[in-house]
Amino acid sequence: MSGRAQLMWDEAVTGYDFGPGHPMDPVRLALTRRLVDAFGLDRAVEVVAAKPAGDSTLRLVHREDYVRAVKAASADPASADASYGLGTLDDPAFAGMHEVSALIAGQSVAAAEAVWHGDALHAVNFAGGLHHAMPGGASGFCIYNDASLAIARLLELGAERIAYVDVDVHHGDGVQTAFWEDPRVLTVSLHEHPRTLFPQTGWPEETGAPDAEGSAVNVALPAGTGDAGWVRAFHAVVPELLADFRPQVLVTQHGADTHVEDPLAHLAVSLDAQRAVQIACHDLAHRYADGRWIALGGGGYAVVDVVPRSWTHLVAIAADRPITPETVIPESWRQEVYARTRQLAPMRMTDGGWPVSFAHWESGYAPANRLDQAVRAARRAAFPLRGLLA
């Protein structure tokens, strides 16, 4: 098996563009790639531009009628069928929508193939992680669900145990739905509580279909959760599940919208905590999945201050070239940020909160603490179904 990481990238993914004023600004992808290059990480990974996912691959998850609807809206945006979630405020139709969405999906599918076949130990597609798309519809800025497609391809190749860990601020509803009845896939999502955030799913009681009970685990975090609570919740749930499940591949989704500056959500997480969880996912892949790790992007709408730094850390960790948080950001990148956005770029690869301190779950449970209540609810709902102590 090659020890080198792959970075899945085709400049054309920046064409995933819902138009002016939409939160999913593709500049976040372009600026992330430029920051990766500014740190020389493009020389520490193998940069791969994979082909778009074809129809047969898309149908591993998506209904044929939905793929036809996306193609029709892509050719004529004015004809978008809202019954498929297309042409809505969240998912406006645009020319070429099918092609670029299939291209992003193709990068994640190729990442899965590379890791499964041993061509790479780790693979990153930060343009991916479009976890809200459903088998029969677009949702939440997501047209095709590349994360689900990567997992479905792994199953097709013969994988028997795949763990999916989603730390986006929004519930990973599309991936949970795709594998709701499949005990071969363990989906774990840490997200802001559905009472206060789209898509209003991801309650602890959502634990999988009767034949796959305990295959879905949901940690619904209270609004305002900060670094110590967020990292505590991750370590209170994820490592124990992976130790029990022993996945052959770990797929993780790293939406950067947990950040305190994100305009669309209500958690209070820093870049430093995001980095801490990225490192934890890397370590867990080595501990329980023979190092096989597929890391995806996701949400994130602070497109200058947060997203490029967060996902550059992700690439650096996958490349085994972690960037020290206090590192000064290259001036060349900061100048490019200003030229593209007229915004001032951050100075360092930290928010000033490194190292992140938190209390491990084993240190004790505080019944009156809302964060601990959320963790306890998730454990009580799902852990006994897997034969684990709540």
Q: Which has the closest alpha carbon to 188: 237, 122, 129, 255?
A: 237
pLDDT at 330: 98
Predicted local confidence at residue 77, as pLDDT: 98
**Confidence (pTM):** 0.98
Token digits of residue 171: 């519930």
* Residues 253, 294 contacting (CB under 8 angstroms): no
pLDDT reported for residue 4: 87
Which residues contact residue 37 at a Cβ distance below 8 angstroms, ignoring those fewer than 6 apart?
Answer: none
Q: List pLDDT tens digits, range 6-26.
A: 999 999 999 999 999 999 999
Alpha-carbon Rg for the chain, nearest whole angstrom, is 19
Q: What is the DSSP letter of 276?
A: H
Supply the pLDDT for residue 1. 46
Place of tokens 């591949």: 249
Q: Quick check: 3 pLDDT over 80?
A: no
H or E element at residue 74: helix 64-75
Compute the distance between CA of residue 276 and CA of residue 270 in angstroms, rounded to an integer: 10
Distance CA 150, CA 175 (A): 10
pLDDT in tens, 64-119: 999 999 999 999 999 999 999 999 999 999 999 999 999 999 999 999 999 999 99
Beta-bridged to residue 6, according to DSSP, are 46, 123
**Residue 211 binned pLDDT confidence (cut-offs 50, 70, 90):** very high
Mean pLDDT (whole number) for 353-358: 97
Name residues whose C-beta falls within 8 Å of residue 176's C-beta, 6 or more positions apart in sequence.
Answer: 187, 189, 201, 202, 206, 216, 218
pLDDT (tens digit per residue) in 138-176: 999 999 999 999 999 999 999 999 999 999 999 999 999
pLDDT of residue 131: 99
pLDDT, tens digit (0-9, with 9 covering 90-100), for 365-379: 999 999 999 999 999
* Vertex 248: Cα angle to 154 and 41 (nearest 5): 80
Eight-class DSSP state of 212: G
Contact indicator for 66, 85 with CB cutoff of 8 Å: no
| Residue 162 host element (H or E) | strand 162-166
What confidence category does residue 2 fall into, taking pLDDT thresholds of 50, 70 and 90? low
Instruction: Note the pLDDT tens digit of each residue in 264-275.
Output: 999 999 999 999
Active site residue ranges: 132
What pLDDT was estimated at residue 20?
Answer: 96
